[in-house]
């Protein structure tokens, strides 16, 4: 598993990449362009809290200050973007940004035709587990898993989706159908054995597995439940 600092940076860089992607690829109306600039400005200028990234994380070789958003700031940015973009558009771009950041900042290895891991060195990532909640944050995770698999079909990607049996919204049904078409397994529970390599070495699991947390977003309320 990766450190808290790495997870924080993953969120920071994927958010920044997401807004940058919107800006670079937007050919829409002036009003839409204005909203993108407003959202980007809100994200980049937020200064309520910062976190220092230690040099040991996968993202940087030197200490770097990153901006953290409060729940209210994140909601404000979302409201601005929702004025001109649909939920599925934002979900697609958010998931793509997460996948691109993971691919860029981690050494990913694939599997050969005989289903054996090609790269077996300690530094390479050999499994990606995306844990998805029932809301839009979980939808971002479903999209990220699909894009990671599409980047390279040999990537070992799996999704843990506890609410799989109760999915009703057409959007989520489509996302799950797309994962099925890409041969990404979706399970309802995370078994510890799923994170182990073939020799059952727990130490290798810690080094070679990325877990993407797509459980809860800024709209989460109340105490964390089991």
Are the CB atoms for 158 and 127 separated by under 8 Å?
yes
Average pLDDT score, the chain: 70
Write out pLDDT tens, residues 140-172: 999 999 999 999 888 889 999 998 878 889 999
In our burial notation (b when 16+ CB lie closer than 10 A, e otherwise), range 96-126 reads: bbbbbbbbebbebbebeeeeebeeeeeebbb
The whole-angstrom distance between residue 162's C-alpha and the CA centroid of its chain comes to: 17
Tell me the domain boundaries of the chain: 1-85, 108-217
| 68 has pLDDT over 60 | yes
- Phi-psi sector, 200: left (phi>0), alpha (psi -120 to 50), beta: left
Q: Which numeric CATH code is attached to 108-217?
A: 3.40.50.10260
SS3 content of the chain, % helix, strand, coil (to 5): 50, 15, 35
Residue 41 has φ and ψ, to the nearest 5°, of -65, -40
Among 24-28, 49-53, 178-182, the least confident range: 49-53
Looking at per-residue pLDDT, the higher value among 127 and 60 belongs to 127
| Rg (alpha carbons) of the chain, rounded to whole number | 18
- Please name which of 47, 52, 154, 140 lies closest in space to residue 89, comparing C-alpha atoms: 140
């Amino acid at each position: 598993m990766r450190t808290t600092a790495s997870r924080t940076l993953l969120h920071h860089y994927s958010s920044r990449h997401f807004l940058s992607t919107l800006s670079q690829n937007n050919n829409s109306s002036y009003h839409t362009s204005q909203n993108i600039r407003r959202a980007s400005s809100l994200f980049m200028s937020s200064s309520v809290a910062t976190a220092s990234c230690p040099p040991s994380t996968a993202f940087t070789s030197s200490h770097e200050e990153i901006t953290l958003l409060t729940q209210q700031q994140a909601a404000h940015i979302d409201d601005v973007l929702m004025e001109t973009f649909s939920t599925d558009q934002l979900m697609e771009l958010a998931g793509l940004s997460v996948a691109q950041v993971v691919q860029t900042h981690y050494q990913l290895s694939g599997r050969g035709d005989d289903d054996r891991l090609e790269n077996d060195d300690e530094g390479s990532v050999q499994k990606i587990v995306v844990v998805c909640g029932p809301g839009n944050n979980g939808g971002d995770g479903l999209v990220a898993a699909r894009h990671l698999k599409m980047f390279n079909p040999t990537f070992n990607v799996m999704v843990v989706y506890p609410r799989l049996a109760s999915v009703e919204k057409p959007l989520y049904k489509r996302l799950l159908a797309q994962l099925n078409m890409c041969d990404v397994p979706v399970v309802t529970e995370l078994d510890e054995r799923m994170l182990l390599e073939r020799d059952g070495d727990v130490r290798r699991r810690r080094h070679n597995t990325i877990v993407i947390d797509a459980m809860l977003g800024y709209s989460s309320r109340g105490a964390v439940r089991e």
